[in-house]
Chains A and B, each alone.
Chain A
Amino acid sequence: MPFRLEIVTPEKRAYADDVDFATLPGSEGELGVLPHHAPLISILGAGELRVRKGGVEESFAIIGGFVQVLPDKVVVMAETADLASEIDLERAQEARHSAERALEAGIVEPVDLAQARAELQAALVRIRVAERRHREGPHRRG
């Protein structure tokens, strides 16, 4: 039985559809959600969110978020959510290099340091999700 999955970010509703199964990057490890999961609110780590709908799998790179699981609905609130097929791998690599360079150059301001680390992490997650997608292609499972 499918359930409703919504992914919202501060800028837009990134996804809203009925899906069969979803795997979320929980802060304490992977979090699989099937229909009729118990009501839950959890922090999400930066990572990959995978959804399966009618045998087709899609994945998102999720950064900085929460999930609210209701009996009939799952809502993911993330700072950014990028569909794997729409990630610009080159740009992500560039972002990674510039963040790494900034970190190597030595940052004094704690605010800038946090910013650079966050950017590096975001770039790494996007790269990982996009590369996995390139390697395996869109999933089709019976």
Chain B
Amino acid sequence: MASQRDIRRRIGAVRNIKQITRAMQFVAASKLRRAQDATLAARPYAEKLDEVLADLAAVLGDEHHPLLARPEGGTRLLVVITTDRGLAGPLNTNTIRFALKEAAEFDGRLTTVTVGRKGRDAIRRTGIPIAAHFNGFGDKPSFADVTPLSRLVSDDFLAGTYGQIDLIFPKFVSTLVQRPTAEQLLPIRPGEDAHGVPGHQFIFEPNPAAVLRQLLPRYVATRIYQAILETTASEMSSKMVAMKSATENAEELIEDLTLSYNKVRQTNITREMIEIASGARAGR
């Protein structure tokens, strides 16, 4: 049986861990609020772009821009978005498992672009090719951060390297639920859940095709930006929940250890009393 001092030392250690996990829980909670605000703040722009795209689709035919057209065959690209740091519960594991399942079910050539270190490390081990990797978007991703990634995938799509590009990321459903999701990024499918302003005949300046040319790259960047914001919100909520249960586990452990500490202490006292009593009897 462990000595009294050993147990006391362990209680101290667990108490320190509890303090750290508790602090991490609160940090994640406040970052979650910020991430949720950022996701909400990004929504009006994205909705407006959807709307204008739908307005354009009403005027233009389908095949007016190469970003809208589906090329024959071609490699499929998965953009797998995970976090840079761990300690976020099962979030990354689930996202990676989902991505690998997508990859396994697709028979054809497939490549990935990874965002976030965790995804890169896991995919590298499977041997699925990684065409590019991005990390360090941090807790407060900005739209400008996303531009290089967006330009890379758009350019490669236009160059015919890829036939289809999907985003895989943990969608933020609620604080308790983050669901790995695949969303088709390119070719763009406009008008599926977007509606233009009905009943308006818009004048397009300088002309519809030129507006579309300017709009599509931003549309792609916005979709990626939103996926990354969702990932950040998911990361923070998953981390918050993971740290909360770690804190609770630490509390339980402290209780158990305190119990054994008291038992050991009691045993020691009893033993000493027996020794004193028997010593006294022997001396009599």
Contacts and interface: CB of A to CB of B under 8 A. Distances in A.
A10 B222 contact: yes
Contacts, number: 79
B105 to A, nearest CB: 33
Interface residues of A, number: 24
Interface stretch (A64-72, A83-91, A100-108, A134-142): A64-72
A38 to B, nearest CB: 6
A25 B225 CA distance: 26
B282 interface: no
Given A40-B203, A43-B205, 14 more contacts: A10-B45, A13-B45, A28-B205, A38-B203, A39-B197, A39-B200, A39-B202, A39-B203, A42-B206, A43-B206, A64-B218, A68-B51, A70-B197, A77-B49
User: Looking at A11, A41, A79, which has the most chain B CB atoms within 10 Å of its CB?
Assistant: A41
B115 interface: no
Nearest to A13: B44
A39 B200 CA distance: 7
A40 B202 CA distance: 5
Nearest to B47: A8
Contacts of A13: 41, 44-45
For chain B, the bracket of interface size reads: 20 to 34
User: Looking at A26, A39, A70, which has the most chain B CB atoms within 10 Å of its CB?
Assistant: A39
The binding surface of chain B is classed by DSSP as: helix
A139 to B, nearest CB: 27
14 contacts: A9-B143, A10-B221, A10-B222, A11-B142, A27-B206, A38-B203, A39-B200, A40-B204, A41-B56, A66-B52, A66-B214, A68-B51, A77-B52, A111-B155
